[in-house]
């Protein structure tokens, strides 16, 4: 029925005998660049609306503190793992292997316990230090954390062996290997990101802010000035957007480092899992250094410059 409707629609549609030909050189691989797109202002409005909401939500998490940013990272990890686990699944094979998907998540949460147990053990102990009983329980769990993770992993391996079925060996071992590659991809970088968050929000917020600035600047420069295609893989990306975003990001890095380095909320390390205000003595990286430009500088620009090196 849908096929017949499509044929009828095509037959009754107005025919375009001479399609317009673009001669301004703004086409790449059959797709018009954003600068010559008729709907670009509508697209820009939608992007602006979504960007404001995302930046607002991100700013709210930064205001709430380190623990909430860590929770955001964990949620992103779960969504990443879900997409990657589904990437090579075959529904026909999954029907013959009940519980096989649950095994993947068993390995995922084992890896999470191993990773964050190592990075956040100190913060967890400091959080429960006021309660003697809870402190002893948590200290015991941290002491045997490696053994617990090893036991969980071996349990998962035995579980995998017990689920092996004839005619599905290739698929099962393929999924087993992909599960470990996915865990490496998801946790290798994000675990260090979480460690940086608790060492000082500055080390997470500055790179994240530069990524946002780079993306926005690339879109705006490409939107208003884009003429030259950058790569065939993404025809709407332009050299003008790439160069404009690069310069904007470099300048923003110096400005943001100077501004963020002045706030203790960004620079102080979090030594527990609470959400209270932070006070600390800023490290040497966040203290201003004074430099004097010598006589080789012209007199009309010779002055003392003070800036923060972060």
**Residues 182 and 235 placed together within one structural domain of the fold:** no
**Are 176 and 263 members of one domain?**
no
Total domains present in the chain: 2
Q: Could you tell me if residue 10 is inside a domain?
A: no
Is 208 found in the same domain as 124?
A: no
| Cα–Cα nearest to 187, from 106, 117, 254, 108 | 108
**Is there a domain that residue 32 lies in?**
no
Q: Classify the phi-psi angles of 226: left when phi > 0, otherwise alpha if psi is within -120 to 50, otherwise beta.
A: beta
Residue where a domain stops, chosen among 172, 199, 226:
199
Q: Is residue 121 part of a domain?
A: yes
- Per-residue model confidence (pLDDT) at position 286: 82
- 151 domain residue, yes or no: yes
Model confidence pLDDT, tens digit, residues 228-270: 888 887 777 889 999 999 999 999 999 999 899 888 889 999 9
- Higher confidence at residue 304 or residue 76? 76
Backbone angles phi and psi of 15, in degrees to 5: -85, 140
Last-in-domain residue among 153, 180, 199: 199
The predicted pLDDT at position 297 comes to: 62
Range of the domain at 288: 202-309
Confidence of residue 42 (pLDDT cuts 50, 70, 90): confident
Do both 122 and 62 map to the same domain? yes
155 and 112 in one domain?
yes
Helix axes 202-225, 239-260, angle to 10 degrees: 150
150 and 254 belong to one structural domain = no
- 49: in domain: no
Residue 305 φ/ψ, nearest 5 degrees: -110, 130
pLDDT band with cut points at 50, 70 and 90 for residue 303: low
- The Cα 155–Cα 38 span in angstroms is 58
pLDDT at position 12 is: 43
Q: Which helix (H) or strand (E) holds 32?
A: strand 31-32
Structural domain includes residue 9: no
Asked if the structure places residue 68 within a domain, the reply is yes
Say if 45 falls within a structural domain.
no
Kindly state whether residues 192 and 212 are assigned to the same domain.
no
DSSP string, 165-182: -TT-HHHHHHHHHHHHHH
Residues 175 and 211 in one domain: no
Least confident residue range of 4-8, 133-137, 193-197, 207-211: 4-8
């Amino acid at each position: 029925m849908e096929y017949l409707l499509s044929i009828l629609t095509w037959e009754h549609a107005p025919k375009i005998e001479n399609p317009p030909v673009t001669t301004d050189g703004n086409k790449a691989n059959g797709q018009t660049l954003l600068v010559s797109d008729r709907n670009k202002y509508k697209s820009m409005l939608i992007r602006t609306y979504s960007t404001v909401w995302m930046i607002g939500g991100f700013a709210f998490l930064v205001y709430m503190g380190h623990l909430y940013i860590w929770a955001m990272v964990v949620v992103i990890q779960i969504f990443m793992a879900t997409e990657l686990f589904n990437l090579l699944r075959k529904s026909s094979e999954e029907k013959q292997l009940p519980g096989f998907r649950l095994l993947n998540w068993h390995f995922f949460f084992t890896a999470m316990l191993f990773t964050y147990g190592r990075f956040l053990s100190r913060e967890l102990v400091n959080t429960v230090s006021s309660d003697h009983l809870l402190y002893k329980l948590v200290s015991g769990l941290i002491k045997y954390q490696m053994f617990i993770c090893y036991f969980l992993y071996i349990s998962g391996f035995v579980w995998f062996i017990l689920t092996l079925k004839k005619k599905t060996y290739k698929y099962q071992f393929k999924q087993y290997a992909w599960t470990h590659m996915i865990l490496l991809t998801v946790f290798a970088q994000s675990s260090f990101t979480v460690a940086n968050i608790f060492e000082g929000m500055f080390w997470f917020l500055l790179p994240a802010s530069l990524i946002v600035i780079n993306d926005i600047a690339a879109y705006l420069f490409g939107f208003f000035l884009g003429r030259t295609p950058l790569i065939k893989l993404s025809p709407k990306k332009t050299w003008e957007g790439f160069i404009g975003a690069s310069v904007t990001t470099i300048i923003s890095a110096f400005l943001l480092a100077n501004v963020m380095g002045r706030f203790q909320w960004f620079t102080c390390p979090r030594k527990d899992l609470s959400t209270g205000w932070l006070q600390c003595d800023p490290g040497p990286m966040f203290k201003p250094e004074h430099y004097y430009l010598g006589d080789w500088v012209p007199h009309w620009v010779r002055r003392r410059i003070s800036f923060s090196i972060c």
